[in-house]
Structure 1
């Protein structure tokens, strides 16, 4: 009895423990998505490929197992590239699967033909096309294993239309192929561990920096015990928050500048000395600081998966009006899947800072609007909350603290649909000035 590539792919993903698939379907992956659902996978249809890619990598970030993004050929895959790069840089497990034109149409102008494997390689740990339907299980196993192991990242599988519809004898397809197992922790050199411990013991002003690697490694208990037992102050990075609670007496986030500057030994747990940590350079760090590095080897879209995965917890997505513009239509997806995500839009009419109505009108009165409108400005006081009316619901517009409190209480009471809270703030509201001028490259 024969089994086609669509069903082989679906059963292979299920065998590897995949649970969620996000995507936008069309030729040639419509039947693929149906096969996924028939196999028991949860398919969530999105409105933009990049948002689908972000949602899938949220699965990888929060579970350690790759989420899957399913898209069409050509532009469908290319719209994923930004999301793939994001997951690769952040070390989040992700598997992207794209349909592609029939193999016998390649090189002669096939429908949405593109060099998809080649285009993906720069943003992946592994990019391949199974040579036959029978060998799909091996490629799925390898893609899942490589996305999850070592330094986690992205895998890409290219599935031509002819491969998805090709049939193979079921008894010759290794659907029970080896399953990618749990990732085993690495064991450091005992001598290096002893040397690191000695540095910490002799330090006068030690500091622990907790990064996202500690979170992805699920090292919460170990890190908390380290901080509590040694009483060493710690500083979480944005993605390291929650490993040790911010209300711990040893958290020094409020004195971040002084903590970094005065530390003589820093224990770096799952973090990198990148731009967020000022590259570990002076004047933010002491000249002779010693660093011990320990390593583990996207808002609306991520919020959607968080809510579906944790139905007993409320998910709140806080973003600016600029960020909302990237994936705002995913509100329809949330309604379709009955996801009560609370979206809070901090609206200042701009990408960084914006302008009030009168100022914007004055700018645009100076001739050609393409030359007079500030590039970082957005339309003033856009009523994003009115998007709820498209679905027969009412959003919340807030200008005061009291209105915000009332809106949040109303939104929390809704349990089967999303909510939008549009908070209008001073258009000229800006970030906190940097302590050192060299930290701010933009002159805005």
Structure 2
């Protein structure tokens, strides 16, 4: 029987584990691994920067519920990829990072790109190792892969020294690994399930908070059944949006502040009480609120505010338990069971608040400045976020995949774009990471190619955020991954300067938020093989969005450069980041 190289052994093991795509950047010595993957039928997506490759692999792990795989060179390649590794850890997404390294016998000699990568990554990942020998490499890869999605998902790392990659072993001496195991679903004790239901029934102002952990767990069907059996107003976190449609009658996203401030019992499913949810602290939350916390991770289930009931395990399985308990207690459960008087009153109040806040958004989107001189019916320049987003959302299909990145861009888009399907919205996540946009787009496009009905990819990003990963347009074009990218170009980080004001300021006096105004990102996209539009008006934006959606069917990348209001006269503020620090008493 013929020999097999270490590179071929890696590719064969990935194939055995049912890995279908690897994201990364090649170089010495991992180029042989990438080529072996291609030869074995595993797709390799070559990026221009390891950060974007790792972000893409992490996002693919979230979307597919199986570890995304990233392959990079050693030394600086690993350092760059650590951004995506940390992103995966913070968001609890499964990722397996593999990196080349210098020959094992040259360790400590100052070898090419030498770095103790296992030691560097070990504190930041669930598992990090170098196989003791080439024969043991399949087992090391298998352990890293399975560890990434077991329990709380997260990143793992496998070191691939050059002598392992280029070494040879007889095929019959290299063990095969079994296909990936199914995800185990841990459930909660029946006693705790009963306690949770009793607490929800007793609530006068109940609330359900849905996080991205529920998205990863595929908890949409159980949650829909729960809402039919026990109508509870629900609030999705930014990446919890769409698990249950934003158009569901119990969705009260537009009354977020009121709901958190007044709810007396809250069931939190797959969300942490971190900065996104104001740590569960007063005055943003009712100081006497009772929490039912459902999370895969027992270690963090009491973080920042203790749970009255802790349901540790798989979100989908435990919500199924709640539904079963409701059904077994009530026989044939009426899905439209009436709320108590106090619950009905609370729900009506939230609906009223939603209506009022939604009207304010509509006014921001529809009340235009005075018509431009000589152009009756045209909107005066410059465009605003709300006006632009209103046009974009009217011209994209309801079943799109939305990627949001940036500060103002992502914050305002969260309330402007409804999400109606699960796992259809990606944003900067727990760490508010800038630079994820293009990696997300590529991961989503690859994932959608495997679905029976491919959904269009729509990214709305700030110009500053786009600068982190914009060159990955070439990656998307090269791989024929259709997508629409809308760059909200205000010429700055948070806010920029109008052209005249920018030109009037000496370079050394420019504010730290300033970028070059009115940069032609559309021309960058064209130069990289895509399509580009530069727009200043509502009509131009509408036509460009329609064209970009149509061109996705041809596998084309379209970038719309929206030259908008610089925001130079506006105060920097973000409602979601408001301080929860209590006032000091002197």
Taking structure 2 as the reference length, what is the TM-score of the superposition?
Answer: 0.72
Match in the other structure for 1:41:
42
2:478 is aligned with 1:340: no
Contact 1:60 1:93 (C-alpha < 8 Å) held by counterparts: yes
The residue that corresponds to 1:416 in the other structure is: 555
Residue 208 of structure 1 pairs with residue 202 of structure 2: no
| 1:302 CA displacement | 1.4
Q: Is the 8 A contact 2:95 2:156 kept in 1?
A: yes
- 8 Å Cα contact 2:276-2:576 kept in structure 1: no
Partner of 1:118: 119
Counterpart of 2:522 (choices 385, 388, 397) is 385
Deviation per residue, 1:32-91 (Å, 9 max, x gap): 111001111011111000000011111100011011111011101111111100001100
Deviation at 1:309, TM superposition (A): 2.3
Count of equivalent residues: 435
For 2:41 and 2:513, locate their aligned partners in 1 and report how far apart those are by CA, in whole Å: 45
Q: 1:354, CA displacement in angstroms?
A: 1.1
Contact (CA 8 Å) 2:3, 2:171: kept in 1 or not? yes
- CA shift digits 1:78-127 (9 cap, x unpaired): 11111100001100000100000111222111011111111111221011
Partner of 1:401: 538
Distance 1:433 1:10, change over 3 A: closer
Unaligned runs of 5+ in 1: none
**Secondary structure, counterpart of 1:83 in structure 2:** helix
Task: Tell me what 1:24 maps to.
Answer: 25
- Paired with 1:331 and 1:293, the residues of 2 have a C-alpha distance of 41
Q: Kindly provide the CA deviation profile for residues 231-261 of structure 1, in whole angstroms up to 9, marking residues without a partner as x.
A: 1000000111111000011011111110111
1:304 correspondence with 2:446: no
Deviation at 1:433, TM superposition (A): 5.3
Kept after mapping to 2: 8 A contact 1:265/1:292: yes
> How many angstroms apart in 2 are the aligned matches of 1:437 and 1:141?
44
Q: Aligned partners of 2:275, 2:25: CA distance in 1, in Å?
A: 34
In 2, Cα distance between the equivalents of 1:273 and 1:388?
40
Q: Per-residue CA shift, 1:176-222, capped at 9, x if unaligned? A: x2444111111111111111110000000000000001100001000
Match in the other structure for 2:346: none
TM-fit CA distance, 1:4 = 1.2
Relative to 1, partners in 2 of residues 1:119 and 1:437: Cα closer, same or farther, differing over 3 Å? closer
Are the aligned partners of 2:463 and 2:488 in contact in 1 as well (CA < 8 Å)?
A: yes
1:294 paired to 2:282: no
Give CA deviations for 1:128-170 in whole Å, capped at 9, x if unaligned. 0011111111111100111001000001000000011111121
CA RMSD in angstroms comes to 1.7
User: Does the residue aligned with 1:159 lie in a helix, a strand or coil?
Assistant: strand
Q: Go from structure 1 to structure 2 and tell me whether the alpha carbon gap of 1:432 and 1:131 turns closer, same or farther (over 3 Å shift).
A: same
Call closer, same or farther: CA 1:257–1:382 in 2, change over 3 Å: same
In structure 2, relative to structure 1, the CA distance for the partners of 1:420 and 1:439 (3 Å cut) is farther
Match of 2:268 in 1: 268
2:531–2:556 Cα contact (<8 Å) kept: no
**Does the residue aligned with 1:118 lie in a helix, a strand or coil?**
helix
Q: Contact 2:209/2:271 (CA < 8 Å) preserved in 1?
A: yes
Say if 2:208 and 2:233, in contact at 8 Å, map to a contact too: yes
Q: Is the 8 A contact 1:103 1:160 kept in 2?
A: yes
* 1:204-353 correspondence to structure 2 within 5 Å: 204-297=204-297, 298-311=436-449, 312-353=454-495
SS of the equivalent of 1:419 reads strand
Q: Return the alpha-carbon distance in structure 1 between the equivalents of residues 179 and 577 of structure 2.
A: 51
User: What SS does the aligned partner of 1:11 have?
Assistant: helix
CA contact (8 A) 2:204 2:264 kept: yes
1:249 alignment partner, SS class: coil
Q: Pick from 368, 371, 376 the counterpart of residue 513 of structure 2.
A: 376
TM-score norm. by structure 1 comes to 0.95
Q: Which residue of 2 aligns with 1:157?
A: 158
Q: Give unmatched runs, 5+ long, in structure 2.
A: 298-435, 582-586
Distance 1:71 1:104 in 2: 21
Q: What is the correspondence of 1:40-119 to structure 2 with a 5 Å cutoff? A: 40-119=41-120
**Is the Cα contact below 8 Å between 1:224 and 1:243 reproduced in 2?**
no
1:312-352: per-residue Cα shift (whole Å, max 9, x none)?
A: 22111111001110110011111111111111111111111
**Contact 2:3/2:170 (CA < 8 Å) preserved in 1?**
yes
2:284–2:580 Cα contact (<8 Å) kept? no
Superposed CA deviations along residues 407-433 of structure 1, whole A, max 9, x for unmatched, are: 001111212210000112111167765
Helix, strand or coil at the partner of 2:239: helix
How far did 1:400 drift?
A: 1.8
Give the CA deviation at 1:270.
0.5
